[in-house]
Chain A
Amino acid sequence: MSSRNLVRISVLCVLLLMLSTTMIAAKNKGIIYYLAPCMHDEVQTTAATMIKDAVEEAGYTCRVLTAGQEDASLQLNQLDNAISQNPKAIIVAAVDGVAICGGVDKARAAGIPVIAFDRTISETKVDFHSVAGCRLIGVNSGNEIARLLKERYGTVKGTILDIMGDPSDSYTTLIEEGFREVMADYPDVKIDTKIASAWEASNAANIADDYLTAYPNTDLIFTHADHLAAAVVAILQNKGYQKGDIILVSTAGMPTGLTLIREGWLSCTVEQPVGAQAEGVAMFLDDIIAGKKPALGKYTVNGIDSELIEMPYGLELRISGAPIHAGNVDDPVFWGNQVGK
């Protein structure tokens, strides 16, 4: 390459770089970071897209950082880096709600509001929470499971294979907590809990395959996410089960889950309303950044009933995740119906 060409190309690169920075800077009211815990299922990828869209719709620039595979120390480093850029606000879906506290305090001390998304940060003060409440999802799932067992047997009894996600993820442990709380009232239900490490679908498939081989009369399988349910369905088909032979319940409301409901394999999935959660952040963003306190009380976010309450750790917008079943699966209010082609 001749030196003249080199110079031309360099100049062009510099111009492009300047252009892009001015575009970013010129666009809007400032930068907002979203720190995602990982990108390993449809909930996370959708959440990132929806937050970015909602925040940019509100007139800000959104930068998304992913903490690898749920790496808490990486997320703290990313939080430090974000603080150094002096953004208008930082939205964080914490890998570890306790480990993140030091970073949260640092950001708030620097005058940057912190918004907890999807996962509660309860050990320190945060400016705003937009959460579904994973425990609540577990409670709702438990109630649905009790209802489905009662419909089938007249009384709540049977054997449940409960397939959790990765135990290092509070999403699944909180669901488990809520689910167990409900099931404690039904002594005739036997629950076997297993772990699908890394939320990996073939792990769930193998567990279901082995468990159903040893206990073919299992009544219900509860998976903590829809992509695990999809793998379990593949096993049910392999083993020659018909739709409805074993009741299948799940959580998250991914497009995959909605498809399984339409096909009749999945009886119910309890939504994790990421779309509404993202919208909830955008709704109150200007107030939070301006330091104004929005009125407490009932709101409707994306068509879903929600409530803004004051918790010891700050304001919390609690959006209830609804059970989705064959009767309401096509309702456009569910995020699973809003994404995809």
Chain B
Amino acid sequence: MAVHLREQEAEEPVLEVRNVSKRFGHVQALDDVSLKVYRGDIVGLLGDNGAGKSTLIKIIAGNHQCDEGQVFLEGKRVNFSSPAEARAAGIETVYQQSPVCTNATVYENFFIGREPVKSFLGVKTLDVPKMRDDTRKILDDIGVSMPSIDVEMGILSGGQRQAALLGRFLHWGGKIALLDEPFAALGVAESRNALKMVREVSKKGLPIILITHNIEYALQVINKFVILRHGNVVGSGKAQDVTMQDLVATITGAIHLND
């Protein structure tokens, strides 16, 4: 195990969060939180409601800025002021709770914010055939069936919508992916599909941070975990070393887990 650890230390983490703190008025949302994500990792970011998971994700994704501490992407200090900047730097986020543009078709949604364009006499026009072809290919790859890629997101079922969002992040990849509660709206079969997709993506080397309440699903894919409680890291380590009972006990504050 020590050998394994040293191997990892030699490699630079893709994402490092170092001593990050964040307050909202009187509420200490995050207090001196640190974590590292390496290539090929699927890190489960676990914790109860209000533990600070979403705040941490939003700081990494550029929605919020931290009060103290630093965020490093591939060793370089970053300080995003908007999701657009974070995305441009290679951080891909899929939110479950946040709304989608319901008037975008499936293929438009795949490319929102970075549509491919053709340039004609310096005028940039959307490359719709490319958008449609790519979308169809990716959906086939991950085995998702849609009524049509021309329908609007607003009329898809929860599962179809989630699949479209996951497909989008699979396609774009970037340097690291953040998945915020990807299973919340999904049925059993759809969740199984989604887990398969997460594994597929990870095999390609893309590191993932997975936020979820569902420990059972998490343990099927994650290799590391970080547990937040009241804004503090109360446990972290390798998924293979712990049981589900240990994780649940840590989340609820019964015990502390540390590697």
In their complex, do chains A and B touch, with some C-beta pair under 8 Å?
no
